[in-house]
Amino acid sequence: MEAYEFSSLVDEYGNSIYRFCKGMTYTVEDAEDLYQQTFLKAFEKRNKIDRNSNVKAYLMQIASNIWKTHKSTYKRHERIAPTVSYDDMESDVCDEKTNIDEMIIKSDEERILRENINRLPDKLKQVIVMFYSSELSIEDISKVLHIPKGTVKSRLYNAKEQLRIMMERQVSP
């Protein structure tokens, strides 16, 4: 694959890979670093990329492997200087009918959900982010993580159950 062909991969899959990186890391800066490292590694391996296979899953696998490798750095950073995960959500244009209170409550619920996702064990967090943020199928997640589909389903179920429990604890007095 030539360099000009590779740029089309970035255009086609860049947003999905960035959302995945953002979901797996603790800060936007970490997500940007992981995103760049992912495409650098993919560029190095561009001759192995088969456009007829699931390129998105292949890129996610690269990102996942880099994330696992650098996980100790993230843990050390978190221990030394705790960070708060936040999302650079695009601000919605409010019209006259929009209820500001509802927007604040929804924003607060989303923040709590993101914080709880970050508290999940890594194996569960990874599957949740891949399934919901990156919109990978169970089969694709299975291929990316090199685990059986049943394990993906089990982790997805356990992650949702743990998130439900965490959310209930935080919402109910």
Q: What digits encode the pLDDT tens for the residues 46-56?
A: 888 887 888 88
Q: Of the given ranges (19-23, 36-40, 85-89), which has the lowest mean pLDDT?
A: 85-89
State the average pLDDT for the chain.
Answer: 79
Q: Which of 66, 70, 147, 159 is nearest to 121 (CA)?
A: 159
Q: What digits encode the pLDDT tens for the residues 139-169?
A: 988 988 899 999 999 999 999 999 989 888 8
The whole-model pTM stands at 0.58
Say yes or no to pLDDT of 21 above 50: yes
Q: Which of 99, 96, 86, 2 is nearest to 51 (CA)?
A: 2
**Dist. CA 144–CA 133, nearest whole Å:** 15
